[in-house]
Structure formats: structure tokens, C-alpha cells
Chain A
Amino acid sequence: MNILIVENEALVALQIESFVIAAGHAVVGIADTVASALALVTGQRPDIALVDMNLAEGDNGLTLAAHLHAMAIPVLLATGNCPTETPGNVAVGCLSKPFDCGELLNALRIVDQITAGTLVDPPPLSLRLFAQVA
């Protein structure tokens, strides 16, 4: 999978990058604001965007999720306190922070399966799926 990482804590982004690369995925880029993330998806198309709710410079991850959703890029949110729903169902699900390598890879795989319509496994507790797919 090609993954876009949007995260305001640089070290967390670095960790996510190393997890997904070690698992054989590719990272499209790392961004920490709405504008820098949108700049990364012009001309290339990630299979999934992992988006933190709180971004740098006061940006909101949901704002970015709405943009990405409009471009039909599946969004997996990540935050300490997952919302029960997102306005307009702009994200597929939310991964509860902190997460470990296994939880992250599992969540990415499930979002991929949902997008492809092949979900069979029940989602783990650390992943909250939103109404559009549940």
C-alpha cells in the first residue's frame, strides 16, 4: 500500500513511517498541516491517508479528511480520543492513540479491506469504524 502520513509530532510520524516501511508498504510522504498534505496528493494518489486529528499550526485533521474524502482517498484518523462519528462520514475509521506496530498494520489492512469490499475479520478494539461501513 501507498500511505500518506499526516501527523504533527515529528517523532511519531517517524515511528509510523518505520513501522509501515518495515511491513513492506510505501510512504507517499509525511505532512503536518492541511496545505502540506494536499500538496503531497497532487500528482500521486495514496491508497490510504493516516490523519492525526490535531495538526500543526492549529489545523484540524477533520478538515483535511473532508478534502481527501472528496478526492475518494480513504482516511484513517488517529487520535487519543476517537470521536463516535465524523461529520459527513469523511473517514473510514479512527485508530486510538497510542498504538503499537501491530495495531497500526492491522488497522491499515482492515481499512484496505473495507475499501476493497472484502472485509471479513471483526475489527480490533483499538480501531473504531464509522457508520458508513459498519
Chain B
Amino acid sequence: MTTHRLDLAADALAPDAPTMPSQPMPNPRALQDVVWAREDFLNQLGEGVIIADATGAITFVNSCAKELHGQAHLGVEPGNYSATYNLLTMDGEPYPDDLLPLSRAVLTGEVVIDERWRIRRADGSEILAIGSARPMNNEHGKQVGSVLIIRDDTRRHADEQALQELVRTKDMLLHEVNHRVKNSLQLVTSLLSLQAMRVDEAEVRAALNEASQRVAVVARIHQRLYTASEHDRVAIGALLREVAEDNIAAHAQDGRITLICACENPVILLDQAIPLALCVSELLVNAIKYSVAGRESGTIRLHVASTGDGNVHVAIEDDGAGLPAGFDPNRSTGLGMKIVQVLTRQLRAELTVDSVAGRTCFTIGFTPHPLS
């Protein structure tokens, strides 16, 4: 292999005579030995090293850099780097000379880190390079040259592309799964509603409709998962608002219930979002029932807030007549309240109820699992 002598480095090493008059001139022979020793060292590196002098003319190309380019030329000026070494942008266009990392280091003294480009070698093969260029300054801060370090990034880049493709595929599959789960659950709600319409007994009809509504809450969550492209977490403010709107539409005639939401939108994991949404749905059904009991219209308030200690509080409030005296949500035997009891326990949540005539408020406070 031809050796490309490191002459620039010799210039850089030469003492600046006017500012250091008292220093003796080093032995030129000894200095040349030092330079060659450095050159041998640079030729053994696994990274490509290209050095340019203060004007940008290439003065040294180490063995690795020569291999990467399939060629080595000295004396090339910044305006000719791209054409001489066949450098292309990632899109395969000729790399504009003034934008090349080494040119930028030469011309503006810029430090350029981990830039990527393509090299078309003399034999026609192409590699992807990743490189960094830095100005080299002497001890007085004067730029005496620039150095470019490059690596072959072809394999790593291909691995990265494959990984990105894999992530895209996984996202697509999860999206698809959540979409299908939602569709299947919606089908179940339809079957239950159809069955409800066919029965004469009001009680059975109500029970089937209730079951349909409960399944619809879970379907709603899966819909949110695939529309937000977050497959394991959901922003609960918006979700619970939808659950409230669905419940009001299903359980009260148009305009009888006014919904007022004061909802922050904390993001929680699915394993907590499902029990929470089911719980809130039961409490909403309750609130709707109490809110309009014996009158024309009522108001439901839904609050979702993150507290300073990292907990989340969800409150469901109605302006109805209030709960019966002695009502204890943890002892109630109705299925709705039973569901609320067991799910708040699963959430490790605290359920409190505060009821007077004209205002009943259920509050669920819990600690969200940390998001990974």
C-alpha cells in the first residue's frame, strides 16, 4: 500500500518561531521520526482518518480511510472532495462540497459530529459512512488543519432499518388487534341490544341493555387505543368523558342531563384504565339515575385531576336528591356497586362518597402504575 506522508502534522508541530524566541529549533530528523511514528499508529486504526491542512488540501489518508473509499488522493482541495472521492448524500445525490463535514471544519472551524453519507467506491460498490470532522488548532488557537474520522456504517444502518421495520410491523399488528377487539366487542353489544329488543319483560330488557353498556365501555377503551396508536396506555380524561356521554345518551332522554367536565388528561396503563373506566361508568349510571329522579333535568359533573403526590382523583357528582340515609358504597349489594367495590379494590383505590340533598359526589383516588 502506498504510504501517504503526514506532512501537515509536521507543519503543525513546528514551533511558531516569533512567539517563542528562546526555544531552540528541534532536530528536523528527530521531528520526522515522531511524525512517521504517528503515521504508523494512524494506519493501524480501525477508523478512517483523513487530514487536511489549513487551506483544506488533503495531506494524509490512513489505510482504513483508503479502504473505505477504495482509493486515496492527496492534495485534493475542498471544492473537489465530493467529485474526487465520489461522495453522495443519503438520497444518492452528489454531496454538495461546502456541506461536507471536512469542508465545514476547514472553512468555518465547525465541529461536525456523526454526519452520514454514502461513498461510491472505485469498483462501483457503495458503503454508508458515518463521520465527524474537527478543526485542529495549534497551541495558540490558530487553525492549522482539520481532521475527519469515518467509519463504515453500512451494516449498523441496515440493522437499524430492519429494527425500524420490525417496530412498524409490531405497531401495525397491535393497531389491528385493538381494532378487531373493539369490533368484536361492539358486535357483542349489538347482539345484547338485539336480544333486549326482543323481550317483553321490562326487567330483562333493562338487564340486557345494562350488559350491553358495560361491554361498550371496554370497546370504547380499545377504540381509544388504536386511534391514539398507544397500545398499552390511554389518556383517561378524554376517555371518561366519552364514557359519560355514552352513558347519558343510553340512560337519559335528550337534554335531560347536562354534563360538565373538568378533566385533566393523565395517561395511565391499560391494566388500570379498564377497571377505572368500568367503575366510573357504574358510578355515572348511578348518578344519572339519582340526578333526574323525580324531576325534569339534572347536571352531572365529572372531574379528573392529577394531584401533586402523583395520584389521580376522579370525581362523579350529581345534583339529585342524595343517597338514601345510611348508604355505604362498600356494603351495597346491587351489582353496579359490587362492581365498583371489587374494581376499586383491584385498583388499590380509595372510594369516598359525600352526599347531601342536592349534591352527591363519589371520588376514586388511586396511584397510577409508572409508565415504562
Q: How far does the alpha carbon of A10 sit from the alpha carbon of B345 in the complex, in Å?
A: 8
B338 near A8: Cβ-Cβ < 8 Å = no
B342 near A8: Cβ-Cβ < 8 Å = no
The residues of B that contact A13 with a CB separation of less than 8 Å are: 342
The residues of A that contact B343 with a CB separation of less than 8 Å are: 10-11
- Enumerate B291-343 residues with CB–CB distance to A below 8 Å: 338-339, 342-343
B346 within 8 A of A: yes
A56 near B346: Cβ-Cβ < 8 Å = yes
- Interface residues on chain B, number (Cβ under 8 Å): 8
With both beta carbons as reference points, the residue of chain A lying nearest to B343 in the complex is identified as: A10
With both beta carbons as reference points, the residue of chain B lying nearest to A14 in the complex is identified as: B342
With both beta carbons as reference points, the residue of chain A lying nearest to B342 in the complex is identified as: A10
The residues of A that contact B338 with a CB separation of less than 8 Å are: 14
The residues of A that contact B135 with a CB separation of less than 8 Å are: none
With both beta carbons as reference points, the residue of chain B lying nearest to A30 in the complex is identified as: B342
Interface centre among A8, A13, A14 (most CB of B within 10 A): A14
Tell me how many residue pairs across A and B have CB atoms closer than 8 Å: 17
Looking at chain A, what size class is its interface with the partner chain? under 10
The residues of B that contact A11 with a CB separation of less than 8 Å are: 278, 339, 342-343
The residues of A that contact B275 with a CB separation of less than 8 Å are: 10
With both beta carbons as reference points, the residue of chain B lying nearest to A32 in the complex is identified as: B346
User: Closest Cβ of chain A: how far from B112's Cβ, in Å?
Assistant: 47
Q: Per-residue 0/1 for A9-33: is the Cβ within 8 Å of any B Cβ (1 yes, 0 no)? A: 1110110000000000000000010
Q: How far does the alpha carbon of A14 sit from the alpha carbon of B342 in the complex, in Å?
A: 8
Interface centre among B275, B278, B342, B343 (most CB of A within 10 A): B342
The residues of B that contact A9 with a CB separation of less than 8 Å are: 346
Q: How far does the alpha carbon of A9 sit from the alpha carbon of B346 in the complex, in Å?
A: 7
User: Closest Cβ of chain B: how far from A74's Cβ, in Å?
Assistant: 25
User: Closest Cβ of chain A: how far from B277's Cβ, in Å?
Assistant: 13
With both beta carbons as reference points, the residue of chain B lying nearest to A57 in the complex is identified as: B348
Q: How far does the alpha carbon of A13 sit from the alpha carbon of B346 in the complex, in Å?
A: 11
Q: How far does the alpha carbon of A120 sit from the alpha carbon of B240 in the complex, in Å?
A: 52
- Enumerate B337-358 residues with CB–CB distance to A below 8 Å: 338-339, 342-343, 345-346
- Enumerate B89-120 residues with CB–CB distance to A below 8 Å: none
- Enumerate A1-57 residues with CB–CB distance to B below 8 Å: 8-11, 13-14, 32, 56
Interface centre among A9, A11, A13, A14 (most CB of B within 10 A): A11
Interface centre among A10, A13, A14, A32 (most CB of B within 10 A): A10
User: Closest Cβ of chain B: how far from A8's Cβ, in Å?
Assistant: 7
Other contacts beyond A14-B339, A32-B346: 7, CB < 8 A? A9-B346, A10-B345, A10-B346, A11-B278, A11-B339, A11-B342, A13-B342
B contacts, CB < 8 Å to A: 275, 278, 338-339, 342-343, 345-346
Q: Report 17 cross-chain contacts, Cβ distance below 8 Å, ordered by A residue.
A: A8-B346, A9-B346, A10-B275, A10-B342, A10-B343, A10-B345, A10-B346, A11-B278, A11-B339, A11-B342, A11-B343, A13-B342, A14-B338, A14-B339, A14-B342, A32-B346, A56-B346
Shortest beta-carbon contacts, A-B, top 4:
A10-B342, A10-B346, A14-B342, A10-B343
